[in-house]
């Protein structure tokens, strides 16, 4: 389930040496996704949001 993936990704985000602003961005987006899942949003849509959050973080880090 996506909730399990989010749990593992949360640990990953804390272990990897991301810049502070990127780490905060990812954690906020992941919390939003977890909240929407708890309120009945579809996993497919939230998975897209999760991928988007990491893609945006990658673009910010690359620029």
Residue 61: its pLDDT value, please? Answer: 80
Kindly list the distances between the CA atom of residue 18 and the CA atoms of 13, 36, 50, in Å, as whole numbers in the listed order: 7, 25, 17
Residue 62: its pLDDT value, please? Answer: 83
Give this prediction's pTM. Answer: 0.88
Q: What is the DSSP letter of 16?
A: S
Token representation of residue 36:
């929407």
Query: Which residues, 6 or more positions from 24, have their beta carbon under 8 angstroms from its beta carbon?
Result: none
d(CA 9, CA 48): 15
- Specify burial of residue 49 (Cβ count, 10 A radius: 0-12, 13-18, 19+): middle
- pLDDT one-digit tens code per residue, 2-53: 999 999 999 999 999 889 999 999 999 999 999 999 999 999 999 999 999 9
């Amino acid at each position: 389930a996506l909730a399990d993936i989010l749990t593992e990704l949360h640990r990953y985000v804390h272990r990897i040496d991301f810049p502070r602003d990127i780490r905060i961005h990812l954690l906020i987006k992941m919390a939003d996704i977890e909240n929407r899942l708890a309120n009945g949003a579809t996993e497919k849509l939230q998975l897209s949001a999760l991928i988007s959050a990491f893609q945006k973080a990658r673009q910010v880090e690359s620029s």
